[in-house]
Structure 1
Amino acid sequence: MTKTIFEIETLINNRIKEIQNMVADDPYRLHYHLMPQIGLLNDPNGFAYYKGQYHIFYQWNPFETKHGIKYWGHYVSDDLVHWKELPIALAPDQWYDINGCYSGSAVVHEDKLYLFYTGNVMDEEGNREAYQCIAVSEDGINFQKKGPIIHVPEGYTPHFRDPKVYYKAGKWYMVIGAQTSEGKGEAVLYTSPDLESWSFQGPLAGSGHNGLGDFGYMWECPDLFELDGHEVLIICPQGLTPRGYEFNNIFHAGYLAGEVDYHNVSFQHGPFTELDRGFDFYAPQTMMDSKGRRLLIGWMGNAEEGESIHPTTRYEWIHTLTLPRQLEWKNGKLLQYPVVELESLRENQIEYEDVPVHEGELSLPNIQGSVFELEVTIKSGNPDVFSIKIGQNNQLSYDQSTNTFSLQRMDLADNHAFEKRYCVLEELRSIRLYKDTSSIEVFVNEGEEVFSARIFDYPNEQDINFYANGSLTMDVKKWELKKLKCL
């Protein structure tokens, strides 16, 4: 017999009480990132601004640290920094979502908050069915399910999910991640006059469309929006082959930019660009807030890659969300940078100006820690190599001979080895990084490139050392960051 949400909440709360002391003892619990109280967190869902507050939902398996049946967890915030956890928004308790309330989005309409999500159903033989579903709330806390609004259309497999809804020119639109019957990834488009009756318009983009060629067997988590006069489609294609410095994680998140033809349902776009060059970034979702900003939050994880060896699983939890980021289109590229509200976490500022680094390593007094923000601006000089080393295992490095910037961390599968991720960078102007107990987010050249990663070597205070093969002059600012009481 299916349990009610009240019964499910009771089970989860009892489980939290049972192991909360053990979870709290984990030295890798984060100080200012959103994470689950227990269990597994993955995709952010339903990122929205409603009745004066930011809402972020997330995929949650509260009963184990593995991917299984998914619920929608729920956080709310006044300022994108301090968050409060609310009761479960969606639970798999209906015939159309009994094996999981999968990812989706949220919109505000007529003073109500609408959630759109994929209901996952599996039979005893493992055959999948997928339904795009709707739930509505008048208070942002309690949601009433309205059931399926879209079934899988002809020509597609049940890998048909992650609806993202938006309003444009008097119509509601929905983009859905899909797999064709031929095993090709696509993003498809629907329209609606009222959020309940939806009409299939066809594929918007995908493998074999608009000159893209073969581009993965499944596209997840599409997100289409306009930014500074450009239309941007974020997608998560699965099945790409590594290509030089690109596509070196198991799955990928990036964007296509161009112009959507809504009449003929096509998208003339440029090349696919990865949003984040680090080890751990997937399923990002954006929203427009009341200040007119396009904001993004992603999952600081990557499905099926090293999850069982995360040390946090010993404490019955795994994964986190990224910091909220603001998006900007500049010089033909999508830039990302931390929202300004995060500056409220800063304390105990240390600042050095015009610091010379010449042919070797340099450390500065009071520039160390385990939880901090660091900002480095290159003032002059052109060394062959410039590096910042954090502790023994984590290093940021720019190599002028190859025009590459890299992030190194300890290999999660082999703590005697290192692994790196790269991007091509014509010059290095600045580095801004956020270090938490077990994560790092690096914003290069005011957000031209971003690297996100989980790191599990030393949760205690670490030295920060600068190195130059050549000479440069830099400004350095460092802040300690406050621990959020809600986490």
Structure 2
Amino acid sequence: MHMMTREEKYRLIEQARPGELAQLRDQVERSPWRQSYHIQAPTGLLNDPNGFSYYQGEYHLFYQWFPLGTEHGMKYWYHTKSSNLAVWEGLGIGIAPGGPYDSHGAYSGSAIEKDGQLYMMYTGNTRDEAWTRHPYQCLASMDADGRIVKLNRPVISSVPPGYTDHFRDPKVWKSGKDYYCVIGAQRTDLTGCAVLYRSEDLLDWTFMGEMKSGLSPFGYMWECPDYFELDESGVLIFSPQGLQADGDLYNNIYQTGYVIGQPLDLSTGEFRHGAFRELDRGFDFYAAQTTQGPDGRRILVAWMGLPDVAYPTDTHGWSGCLTIPRQLTIQGGNKLIQQPVPELAKLRKTQSGATLTLKDEVKHLNGFDGTSYELICEISMFDAEELGLEFRASGHEKTVLKYDTGQKKIILDRTFSGQAMDEINGNIRRCGFNADRLKFHLFVDTSSVEIFINDGEEVFTSRIFPDPASKEIRLFCSGGTAEFRVCKWDI
């Protein structure tokens, strides 16, 4: 695979070589792993979701986009919108880099409505002649006709003393009359944290200091912080880099998780909270961002991918997609539950169902094959040692989701899922789970799976790259019996 030079990575789309984009589009079109219902880039690399918001009766969702290759290069904001969270329309470039304050990329950020306009606050990435990074926090606004204009100056023009140039990803919210934003940062001692700013008008911001959390030191950089309040609790979602693996925890190259506590004290910056928990137990989940729907729901979307990991589609001219939208609730005061938004039922087509009891066997469900579907598998009355399902399966391929009743663990195994993945993340994920009935709710697409266990108590999100002919769904149990009830909808 061709490794891009710095000059190639930091090209604007106008600097594409003659025929380069057409060739990329052609390459992408031939890829067997293009998704059927997930947001994905037309060409090149997609990463963090940005500017997730509800404005003028529609959801707007942008993503980080490098159009000219699958390496992290010159980032744009690509704009999509939806009236129903299920079907998304691609609108093209939302924010283009290349100005004095975003010369080397329009990096991640968020959006908020004010005075009938949607304001997008993002990190402008610049580099000087010595290739030293200088981040600026920039602002753009969109009117009701969808016209986006960048403010011609940064709204936060320097990094405060005590922090490195890893200073990015502003997430804005309103409390009372004022606006606040949290920014992911790295202290000069190379530990990660989040800092707070306040503004009356989104234009002039005052540094309030660090968000005083109970996590220090905790990794070397916090990316994509997102603070919100839900059920009278304060929640901070963020992506810490540099956590060491600990048993079944922190097995990905970088993590995304949350802490829940009392609402953030905006006068002191103090945030009293419980332990950090991972949001997702799978392999490919990062940079989650939330918004509030018009009905008050808190909705989350994340990048179904990770930085510094190679994916099989890299050689096909594209990489990355976003997760399906999930609604969040708090369980027991300290745990976030993620559930697929009910609007996704609009995608359902042909339905099939089956109920069966298995004893020490693997059963291929006839007529249940597919590459793009929603599946609910409920398992009860079991005394088996292991039980679960194999999907996207064939003679030589399968992705396995199972419950080990002895270890009391849910296990996702993609060892035989298809095209081998970058070994950096391994191929098996486990989490402790104690239940006498199981509900596996799967959203399978051409090259991904999102699994919600017992209505979102745990979630496993993963890319998989099977042969298009690997379509079988099989149920299995060993060392005893189990009762299965399965319902599937093609998408």
Question: What displacement does 1:364 show?
Answer: 2.4
Matches within 5 A, 1:47-196: 47-139=52-144, 141-146=146-151, 147-150=153-156, 151-196=158-203
- 2:5 aligned partner: none
The answer to whether the 8 Å contact 2:179/2:202 transfers is: yes
The answer to whether the 8 Å contact 1:9/1:88 transfers is: no
Q: Quote the Cα distance in structure 2 between the aligned partners of 1:87 and 1:13.
A: 20
Query: Using a 3 Å threshold, how does the CA distance of structure 1 residues 12 and 104 change in structure 2: closer, same or farther?
Result: farther
The answer to whether the 8 Å contact 2:35/2:447 transfers is: yes
- 2:3 aligned partner: none
Q: Quote the Cα distance in structure 2 between the aligned partners of 1:395 and 1:444.
A: 14
- 2:4 aligned partner: none
Determine which structure has the larger strand proportion and give its number.
1
Aligned residue pairs total 466
Secondary structure of 1:23's match?
helix
Matches within 5 A, 1:176-255: 176-205=183-212, 209-210=213-214, 212-255=215-258
- 2:9 aligned partner: none
- 1:360 aligned partner: 361
What's the CA shift string for 1:163-217, capped at 9, x where partnerless?
Answer: 0000112221100000011111001111111111111111114xxx42x342101
**TM-score calculated relative to the size of structure 2:** 0.91
Q: Quote the Cα distance in structure 2 between the aligned partners of 1:282 and 1:63.
A: 22
1:351 maps to which of 350, 353, 361:
353
* 2:270 is equivalent to residue 266 of structure 1: yes
- 1:443 aligned partner: 452
The answer to whether the 8 Å contact 1:408/1:418 transfers is: no
- 1:3 aligned partner: none
Q: Quote the Cα distance in structure 2 between the aligned partners of 1:12 and 1:295.
A: 40
Matches within 5 A, 1:471-486: 471-481=481-491
Query: Using a 3 Å threshold, how does the CA distance of structure 1 residues 153 and 442 change in structure 2: closer, same or farther?
Result: same
Q: Quote the Cα distance in structure 1 between the aligned partners of 2:379 and 2:146.
A: 47
What value does the CA root-mean-square deviation take over the aligned residues? Answer: 2.0
Secondary structure of 2:284's match?
coil
Q: Quote the Cα distance in structure 1 between the aligned partners of 2:180 and 2:17.
A: 35
Q: Quote the Cα distance in structure 1 between the aligned partners of 2:426 and 2:220.
A: 30
Q: Quote the Cα distance in structure 1 between the aligned partners of 2:90 and 2:179.
A: 30
The answer to whether the 8 Å contact 2:178/2:199 transfers is: yes
Q: Quote the Cα distance in structure 1 between the aligned partners of 2:422 and 2:297.
A: 41
Question: What displacement does 1:14 show?
Answer: 6.5
Secondary structure of 2:306's match?
coil
Question: What displacement does 1:10 show?
Answer: 9.4
Q: Quote the Cα distance in structure 2 between the aligned partners of 1:300 and 1:365.
A: 30
Secondary structure of 2:367's match?
strand
Moved over 4 A (4+): 7-16
The answer to whether the 8 Å contact 1:49/1:290 transfers is: yes
Query: Using a 3 Å threshold, how does the CA distance of structure 1 residues 443 and 9 change in structure 2: closer, same or farther?
Result: farther
Q: Quote the Cα distance in structure 2 between the aligned partners of 1:16 and 1:78.
A: 30
Q: Quote the Cα distance in structure 2 between the aligned partners of 1:140 and 1:424.
A: 49
- 2:7 aligned partner: none
Q: Quote the Cα distance in structure 1 between the aligned partners of 2:75 and 2:17.
A: 13
* 2:39 is equivalent to residue 30 of structure 1: no
Query: Using a 3 Å threshold, how does the CA distance of structure 1 residues 342 and 78 change in structure 2: closer, same or farther?
Result: same
Query: Using a 3 Å threshold, how does the CA distance of structure 1 residues 413 and 440 change in structure 2: closer, same or farther?
Result: closer
What's the CA shift string for 1:418-457, capped at 9, x where partnerless?
Answer: 7101111112520000111111111111001111111112
- % of aligned pairs identical? 43
Q: Tell me the amino acid that sits aligned with residue 466 of structure 1.
A: L
Question: What displacement does 1:29 show?
Answer: 0.6
- 1:430 aligned partner: 439
Query: Using a 3 Å threshold, how does the CA distance of structure 1 residues 122 and 352 change in structure 2: closer, same or farther?
Result: same
Q: Tell me the amino acid that sits aligned with residue 308 of structure 2.
A: E
- 2:8 aligned partner: none
- 2:285 aligned partner: 281
Q: Quote the Cα distance in structure 1 between the aligned partners of 2:269 and 2:312.
A: 46
